[in-house]
């Protein structure tokens, strides 16, 4: 599945990436038992309708990519009008 980048999708990808980094840090500090479990809980708490509006799925393939994806610096430096030139993809 290939999704054209938009502001809402970018913000969602950033939020998941930042939560992963926080969960990894908290796990290293022994504040959480498992960073992966903590990240899964975060993603599970996002409304299903939110996922659907973005074109994301709650299947293994999409979640695997979401949990490991790092937003490219090129996307962060782009103007909003340039977002359609980028895409996020995961195996359908």
Please tell me the predicted confidence (pLDDT) of residue 53: 95
This model's pTM is above 0.75 = yes
Distance of CA 14 to the CA centre of its chain: 6
CB atoms under 10 Å from CB of 12, counted, come to 20
What is the total count of domains within the chain?
1
Please tell me the predicted confidence (pLDDT) of residue 80: 97
pLDDT band with cut points at 50, 70 and 90 for residue 85: very high
Give per-residue pLDDT as tens, 22-78.
Answer: 999 999 999 999 999 999 999 999 999 999 999 999 999 999 999 999 999 999 999
Domain of residue 27 covers 2-89
pLDDT band with cut points at 50, 70 and 90 for residue 92: confident
């Amino acid at each position: 599945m290939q999704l054209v980048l938009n502001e809402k999708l970018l913000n969602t990808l950033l939020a998941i990436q930042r939560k992963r980094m926080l969960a990894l840090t908290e796990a290293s500090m022994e504040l959480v038992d498992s960073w992966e479990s903590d990240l899964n809980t975060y993603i599970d708490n996002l409304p299903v309708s939110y996922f659907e509006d973005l074109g994301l799925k709650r299947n293994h393939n999409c979640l695997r990519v979401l949990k490991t994806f790092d937003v490219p610096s090129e996307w962060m430096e782009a103007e909003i009008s340039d977002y359609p030139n980028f895409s996020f993809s995961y195996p359908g």
